Structure 1
Amino acid sequence: MYFWYKFFTYLFYPFAPFYLYFRKLRKKEDFIRYKEKLSKINIPRDNGFLIWFHIASVGEAMSILSLIESCLEEKKIDKILLTSITLSSGKILEKKFSQNTKVIHQFLPLDIPVLTKKFLEHWKPNLSIFIDSEIWPNLILQINEKKIPLLLINGRITKKTFNRWKLIINFAKKIFGKFDLCLASNKESENFLKILGAKNIKNHGNLKFAQAKKNLSNKLDVSLLNKIKNRKIWCAASTHPTEEVLCAKSHLKIKKNFNNVLTIIIPRHIDRAAKIDTELSNLHLKVAFYSKLDQLDESTDILIIDSYGESLKFYNISKYVFLGKSLSKTLIMNSGQNPIEPARLGCKIFHGPNVTNFIEIYEYLKTLGVTKKVNNSDELSLSLVEEFKEDKAKNDEISAKIQNYGQNIFNNVIIELKKYI
């Protein structure tokens, strides 16, 4: 199987520039830096110990901020290379670490042997770490050939992903067997990793429970806070198509009880912001954009957050959060968004019935009483009206419990990581 995978990736090589250029035109790649995916690297590799983290997307990027911050304080580490694939994750990482000379961000090259070989020969990482579920066969086998230690941290294998790998089980064992250490994020992933051929597997829990250091960038501007200080606020975060309209309908129902309600929508993909605006305007709702705060006034119904990396700011000021990808009928087999961040900040979380990607986390949070399942717009609006009437303060005790739980996971992961530094 690997022969054919490698063969077809070689065949694709001549078309790779055109593929990326086409994606650039569709605004799915960085207009200038997309060439990094062809291993066109213009940053030198300095001397010293270089640790490399590969993160796929926004969720994974946010999950390891605490880990990166710890590595920044480790004197044995001279440079930290962060690679990612998605445009949004690249923007978040670049924004977060742009002022730190110890950190370099690059987009990971396509999994074509010529490109991955060039990437590894340039950066020569002393330790390579893949986060979550990013598996690139050519790259992994080349890392192994160069005898670079390879770790999988916060490894997550969904049932859907597992079933795909199971169809090519011998190929899977060839790939997963190359990891020196696999830290599973949950029991299900631990079991799947064993079947897929991973060897040194440990399960300390989900690293997403660990908290990055607080910083001022997670605070909203005072002028915005003054504009919304008299509003009843709730967030609809990581929303997908159809969910924004559903939340807007909930807003209309809530408004019958609280005419000062402000719904903050944080779409998973901000390139949909204009379309969302059109859909909500058709419901006769007044919409404002975060990028144009002069539009925001007391009559605004919906504030759309049209830039990445802003969620924490709004979780800080909101007691109630609806998490998307849970009521979309087209995403049932790949559903749910990570509820840890709003839970850690003391928010009450509402979600639909479809949370297949985060079942264990939701089950844990349910025992703390911080989550509630809703099946439709009516149930969401009724629940929020009830919460607004009670107007309880955020539960600091539960927040502390979640943070302590996350700190224990983080400490155990750091102990494992230091064995390879």
Structure 2
Amino acid sequence: MRNFITLLLYRLVLMSLLPLVIITLVIRSKNNPQYRKRLSERLGFVRSSFKQNSIVIHAASVGEVIALKPFVEKLLQQQPELVITFTTFTPTGSAQVSTLFGDRVQHCYLPLDIWPCTAMFLYKLKPKAAVFMETEIWPNLVAQCKHKDIKLLLINGRLSEKSVESYQKLTWLIQPSLLAFDHIYCQSQDNLARFLMIGATNTNISVSGNLKYDISINEKVASKQKELSQYLKENRRIWVVASTHQGDEDIILSAFRLIKAQHPDLLLILVPRHPERFDAVASLCKKCFNTIRRSEETPIKPDTDIWLLDSLGELLAVFALANVVTMGGSFSQIGGHNPLEPALFKLPIIVGPDMNNFTDIMYQLMEQQAVIQLSEEGNISEHLSAEMINLLNNSSLADKYGNSAHKVVLANQGASQRSLDKLLALIHKS
């Protein structure tokens, strides 16, 4: 009875906030017009062409979509008769689904976690199972799935210590959601312990490993690498700085200026995380450096300093062109981005002080001396330039870091298959 009242109050509050949420999406669309497109999907309206009895798989944005790729590919291969509805919440995540899977999956936005929206979504799709990723816990949708006997699986479960503190204030809401899952697979024992702290029980939770290790180079990536390399006529060393956020570029460009004093031939390939920032980052780069945008489809010239990758779906391929990689989001209190993707290409990796979103992965990499993490102390641009110059001057050291990182990736693979086995067991059990 208490859970019912709690959920009812949650639904009433969110329903009252619906106009505000829609207004927020419209305001956000000023920077990214994609946020005002397909608003009907946010309200739970599904295209009439969508098939029912599918497996709903949800990933919030780009990083989660990429991490789920091996899992979804295995599901498509092993169970080709199953229909998959792949949902995201951001436009960039949506674009990534289209790039990776095309028409092999049904795709739409996951509706807002408001009762009429989620009820419409489930009524139209009538899924047989729903798979959520990492920290995607939608109390209303989860409760409705449980009520309709839709199998629920949370995979790659991850909780930071900061998230635990926040969730503990909402245990009355979060615990019923966690108990509704048929199973929760966590990335590590530490993450499992944190889920137990906010209300999960030992009866429906275990460790599977991290899906993000299960990455590989396929023909599409190799083809894209070949396409991108045609723009690079000169044999130059390349520094890829991936998934940058506001504030990252100032640090990177300051370091780049110092590095160029010793390595004038170095080409910086800069990849902003969000498309709405492409123009602003381009303007910032052009103030000090000769910059070409990927969208210009212009070959890189000998005097080009920066190639701005203002595109989607090309990051993994551009890693193959690099000599050194730095992950953005690790300088600006974002928590970093996945360092395993460049590790797949045996590349030396430098990250900033904040990699809180990848604590377990960083532990593995640091333990094997497979990544360089900068300290918060002192001038971070100077520290970054010093580490870069050291790697550029010492190819054997760069190779050592790259090879060690690649070994960490290979040693931790397998979570995708374990998660898939659990999903199929739940489906066949029903």
Normalising by structure 1, report the TM-score: 0.91
Contact 1:245 1:280 in 2 (8 A): no
Residue in structure 1 matched with residue 51 of structure 2 by the alignment: 46
Q: Distance in 2 between matches of 1:255 and 1:27?
A: 34
Residue in structure 1 matched with residue 395 of structure 2 by the alignment: 391
Amino acid of the structure 2 residue aligned with 1:167? K
Q: Distance in 1 between matches of 2:241 and 2:307?
A: 10
- 1:126 has 2:132 as partner: no
| Corresponding residue SS for 1:288 | strand
Q: 1:228 to 1:236 in 2, by over 3 A?
A: farther
Contact 2:371 2:405 in 1 (8 A): no
- 1:12 has 2:17 as partner: yes
Residue in structure 2 matched with residue 33 of structure 1 by the alignment: 38
Moved more, 217-226 or 246-255: 217-226
Q: Distance in 1 between matches of 2:18 and 2:257?
A: 52
Residue in structure 2 matched with residue 113 of structure 1 by the alignment: 115
Match of 1:248 among 250, 253, 256: 253
Contact 1:65 1:212 in 2 (8 A): no
Q: 1:248 to 1:64 in 2, by over 3 A?
A: same
Residue in structure 1 matched with residue 307 of structure 2 by the alignment: 303
Amino acid of the structure 1 residue aligned with 2:101? F
Q: Distance in 2 between matches of 1:36 and 1:342?
A: 34
Alignment of structure 1 residues 1-400 onto 2, 5 Å: 1-14=6-19, 17-27=22-32, 29-46=34-51, 49-75=53-79, 77-100=81-104, 103-199=105-201, 200-212=204-216, 214-218=218-222, 219-222=224-227, 224-225=229-230, 227-282=232-287, 284-294=288-298, 296-328=300-332, 331=333, 334-375=334-375, 376-392=380-396, 394=399, 398=404
- Residues 27-80 of structure 1: CA deviation (Å, up to 9, x unaligned): 253554232111222233436x52110110111001010000001112364211
| Corresponding residue SS for 2:116 | helix
What count of residue pairs does the alignment treat as equivalent? 413
Contact 1:319 1:346 in 2 (8 A): no
Q: 1:273 to 1:165 in 2, by over 3 A?
A: same
| Corresponding residue SS for 1:151 | strand
Contact 1:286 1:299 in 2 (8 A): yes
Q: 1:361 to 1:96 in 2, by over 3 A?
A: same
Moved more, 161-170 or 391-400: 391-400
Contact 1:23 1:29 in 2 (8 A): no
Match of 2:420 among 393, 405, 414: 414
Displacement, 1:90?
0.2
Amino acid of the structure 1 residue aligned with 2:353? P
Across the aligned residues of Structure 1 and Structure 2, the Cα RMSD in angstroms comes to 2.2
Q: Distance in 2 between matches of 1:135 and 1:37?
A: 17
* Unaligned residue ranges in structure 2 (runs of 5+): 1-5
| Corresponding residue SS for 2:97 | helix
| Corresponding residue SS for 1:211 | coil
Q: 1:272 to 1:295 in 2, by over 3 A?
A: farther
Contact 1:178 1:198 in 2 (8 A): no
Amino acid of the structure 2 residue aligned with 1:369? Q
| Corresponding residue SS for 1:177 | helix
- Residues 124-154 of structure 1: CA deviation (Å, up to 9, x unaligned): 1111100111111111110111010100000
Instruction: State, as a whole percentage, how many aligned pairs show the same letter.
Output: 27
Q: 1:273 to 1:185 in 2, by over 3 A?
A: same
Contact 2:330 2:337 in 1 (8 A): yes
Amino acid of the structure 2 residue aligned with 1:182? I
| Corresponding residue SS for 1:106 | strand
Displacement, 1:221?
4.2
Q: Distance in 2 between matches of 1:228 and 1:187?
A: 48
Contact 2:251 2:381 in 1 (8 A): yes
* Unaligned residue ranges in structure 1 (runs of 5+): none
- Residues 60-111 of structure 1: CA deviation (Å, up to 9, x unaligned): 00101000000111236421110000010000101221242xx111111111
Q: 1:66 to 1:213 in 2, by over 3 A?
A: farther
Contact 1:319 1:394 in 2 (8 A): no
Contact 1:347 1:394 in 2 (8 A): yes
Q: Distance in 1 between matches of 2:405 and 2:159?
A: 27
- Residues 6-43 of structure 1: CA deviation (Å, up to 9, x unaligned): 11112134555544444434425355423211122223
